[in-house]
Amino acid sequence: MLFRLDHGSPVPLGDQIAASVRGAIADAVVRPGERLPAARALADSLGVNVHTVLRGYQQLREEGLIELRRGRGAVVTADPAAPGRARLSDIVRTLVADARALGLTDEEIVDAVRGGLAAR
């Protein structure tokens, strides 16, 4: 699995790490039960602090995409819906970033999403 970080990006590095894993899960590059690189090893290879990697991994755990196991590290969840959730999470993050760039408030973003769902 390839991790690419853009140190000049306004997106925090931990978020970029989480996005890399999310994309790999969505594209089936990594599969359920597969272990992710150890946080310390990944931090060393990327030239970032181990806590930066752990923040990214924590996001993924909160999204239900990985499990963090003491002594075993980060493991992709066996949930068959994980790739779909990973893809949806990326779409939502892009939508929110684009909407904020247009100057929309969180309430306006939620209203827009609700309006889109109501149109179905």
Give this prediction's pTM. Answer: 0.71
Better-predicted residue by pLDDT, 12 or 116:
12
Check residue 83 and give its pLDDT: 74
Which one-letter amino acid corresponds to residue 104? L
Q: Give the CATH fold of the 13-118 domain.
A: Arc Repressor Mutant, subunit A (1.10.10)
* pLDDT over 80 at 116, yes or no: no
Q: Which DSSP letter does residue 68 get? A: E
The mean per-residue pLDDT over the stretch 88-95 comes to 84
Distances (CA, A) of 108 to 31, 89, 97, 115: 36, 19, 13, 10
Better-predicted residue by pLDDT, 90 or 49:
49
Check residue 2 and give its pLDDT: 80
Domain ranges within the chain, ordered by starting residue:
13-118
Mean pLDDT of the chain: 88
Structure tokens at 1: 């699995």
- The 3-state DSSP composition of the chain as helix, strand, coil percent (nearest 5) reads 55, 10, 35
